[in-house]
Amino acid sequence: MKAAEVRGKTPDQMNDELAKLKKEQFNLRFQKATGQLEKTARVKEIRRDIARIKTIARQKAAESKA
């Protein structure tokens, strides 16, 4: 997911996407623990997407307060 895609979303859409990503991250952790994880790079992608969404959400919140 690109930052431009995230910036185009509403706060509600970002929260929904964040919840979806966290659920996927949880499932990937279980797959890794049981030895079923095939795409190990996906863990890193999910972690970065979560950070990207949180960062942009915080920036938007700061802009609306200023």
Left (φ > 0), alpha (ψ -120 to 50) or beta: where does 39 sit?
beta
Local structure of residue 2 (DSSP, 8 states): -
Q: What is the pLDDT of residues 5-48, one digit of tens each?
A: 999 999 999 999 999 999 999 999 999 999 999 999 999 999 99
Work out the pLDDT band at 66, boundaries 50, 70, 90: confident
CATH classification at residue 36? 1.10.287.310
Q: Which residue has the tokens 């966290």?
A: 22
Query: Is the pTM above the cut of 0.75?
Result: yes
Domain around 10: 3-64
Q: Answer yes or no: is pLDDT of 57 > 80.
A: yes
Give residue 65's pLDDT: 85
Give residue 64's pLDDT: 87
Distances in Å between the Cα of 58 and the Cα atoms of 12, 18, 41, 47 are: 13, 13, 26, 17
In the chain, how many domains are there?
Answer: 1
